[in-house]
Structure formats: C-alpha cells, structure tokens
Amino acid sequence: MPGRSARDLIKRHADTGPRPSGRGFLAWLVPRPVFLQDVNMAQNIYDDPKFFAGYSQLPRQVHGLKGAPEWNAIKAMLPPLEGKRVADLGCGFGWASRWMRQQGAASVMGYDLSEKMIGRARADTDDEAIHYRIADLDRLELPVDSFDLVYSALAFHYVADFDRLVGMMHRALTLGGALVFTIEHPIFMAASQPDWIEDEQGRKIWPVNGYSIEGERRTNWFVDGVLKYHRTMGTTLNTLIRQGFQIDRIEEFAPTTAQISENPGLAEELERPMMLLVSAHTT
C-alpha cells in the first residue's frame, strides 16, 4: 500500500522497513500522566531512527520554510506578528518558530512529540524568547488566555481527538486571538489506497473513497503503518465553529504557475489538493 504524506511534496514509494515502536514509547516524557488511562498516546514515528533519517532530508527540513511550496499561502493567512505570543504546535526543527520571532513576535513556545525534533530545534535556535517542549498534542494543555496566535503545520492529522485540541486552543488564546494551521486535505486522506491512478486516456486520477467514514488511516511514509486520522472538511470546520472560532479563510493549496515552471512535478497538485490551510479567530 504505497502512500504519501503532505509533509513531503516529493513522491516517495512504499517502505518495507520495521514498524515504528508505536504508542507508549514516550509516555514517561509527557507531563500529565493523569490522562494516561483515558487518552491514547499519539504514535511517535518521528523518533524512529529510520523515519528521522529520511524526514531530515525533505526539502522543507533542509531548506526551511522556503522548501515548502505552500509557505507563501500560509504567510498570507498569518496576522501581523509584532508583539505576539505564539504557540507553534508540532514545531519540528523550529523553522517557523524562529521565523515568527524574526517578524517581531514577543515569544514563541514550540511543542513537538519528538525528542529528536526538539533536540534539533534547540540546537538550531539561539533566542531566549523561544522555548521548546516535548508534548503530545492529544494531551497538551496550554495555559489559559496566554497566546495571541496558535500556529501549526501538518500536525493535527496525527491528533485523535480534534475536538479536545480545538477547545484547548480556544481557551489558550486571548479573545480575538488567531489560529492558523495546515493539515493533510481530507480529499488526500480519505482513500483506502491513496496513490495516483490513470484513467483510460492516461490522465492522472486521485482515488477518493470512504470519505464520510472518519477515523484511522494507515500509510507508509519512510516507515510502515504511519497512523493518521481522517476527518471530513465539515467535521474540521464545524468543530472550530462549535468551540467558538470564527472561520476567516480556507485555502486548498495549489501551486502557482511560477512554481510549476520552476518545479514541473508540482503540476499534479492541481489535480487534487494535498493540503488544507485554515485561519480562524476566537470570538
């Protein structure tokens, strides 16, 4: 079952390596053990050595934000950053955390499940207003009324309980505070076999099925059995609205003509959206 993740816009093939060590691997690192009995730990693929080695070579990890074709679209959705207190959920190597500070953010708290990611982020950052913490987004509780912006890139589709996460983010944000996040698009996530096929005329087709059947999806991406959670567009947006967010903008990333000229492989991204970008604010 070949599969791809939106953390990589370059096609990769199935990987037959060992299964990641899975749930519970980092349980001792998580600060709120009181929840262990009722909330599953997130799967931590990122600390799998094989995964980490492959992941570290992705253009967006080597080149930073400019290596991500959707970055300009994200920037256009961000509020002015001057003086803002920012939480970066799933901060990875800290590229966005550092960029936010360069734009004038007062402080950035970066959170990631992966000890290796946080280690690398700390090593690459020399800024006392940026702090990194290991945290599972399915259990993280941010302090109430403490942030002006919550930002997250391609992390929420690993979260089992999106409703809990959204409620927590709403409490953590000040009134009028902004939430800007990207996830794998539900069109990309839904299918049982998420890989291109061709029609009789040789045109690429993205196969969609099981769209309304939400829940676990497993794909192979550097390692086998990467666990993600498919939610419909309706569920994602309605959860935000129900928890008190007002939707400001929805983008389904598509490359520009200039991007396709520079990198013809991106043209297939016009056929189906791989990423969903959402901005909203608390009311």
Q: How far is CA 203 from the centre of its chain?
A: 29
Parallel, antiparallel, or unpaired: how do β-strands 130-134 and 147-153 relate?
Answer: unpaired
Separation of alpha carbons 169 and 69, rounded Å: 26
Task: Report d(CA 121, CA 196) in Å as an integer.
Answer: 34
For the bound state, the minimum distance from the C-beta of residue 28 to a copy of itself, rounded and expressed in Å, comes to 40
The span from the CA of 10 to the CA of 152, in Å, is 21
Bridge partners (DSSP) of residue 223 are 221
CB of 204 to a copy of itself, least distance (A): 6
- Taking the complex as a whole, how short is the minimal distance between the CB of residue 272 and a copy of itself, in angstroms? 5
The DSSP 8-state label assigned to residue 44 in this structure reads -
Q: Which of residues 90 and 273 has its CB atom nearest to a copy of itself in the complex?
A: 273
Nearest approach, Cβ of 88 to a copy of itself (angstroms)?
A: 24
Query: For residue 154, with 0-12 CB atoms within 10 Å meaning exposed, 13-18 middle and 19 or more buried, which class applies?
Result: buried
For a copy of itself, the binding residues (CB under 8 A) are: 187, 190-193, 197, 199, 203-213, 232-234, 237-238, 241, 246-252, 254, 269-273
Name which of 232 and 263 has its Cβ closer to a copy of itself: 232
Bridge partners (DSSP) listed for residue 183: 276
- Cα gap 233→41, rounded to integer Å: 25
- Shortest distance (Å) from residue 174 CB to a copy of itself: 20
Token pair 């349980």 is found at 27
The neighbour count for residue 47, using CB atoms within 10 Å, is 18
CB 180, CB 32: distance < 8 Å: no
CB of 240 to a copy of itself, least distance (A): 9
Q: Is 36 or 197 the residue whose CB approaches a copy of itself more closely?
A: 197
Hunting for tokens 């991406």 — which residue is that?
Answer: 221
Of the pair 212, 261, the CB lying nearest a copy of itself is at 212
Tell the smallest beta-carbon distance from residue 250 to a copy of itself (Å): 4
Q: Which is nearer to a copy of itself, 177 or 255 (CB)?
A: 255
**Nearest residue (CB) to a copy of itself, 83 versus 234:** 234
Q: Which is nearer to a copy of itself, 115 or 195 (CB)?
A: 195
Which two three-digit tokens encode residue 130?
A: 């940026």
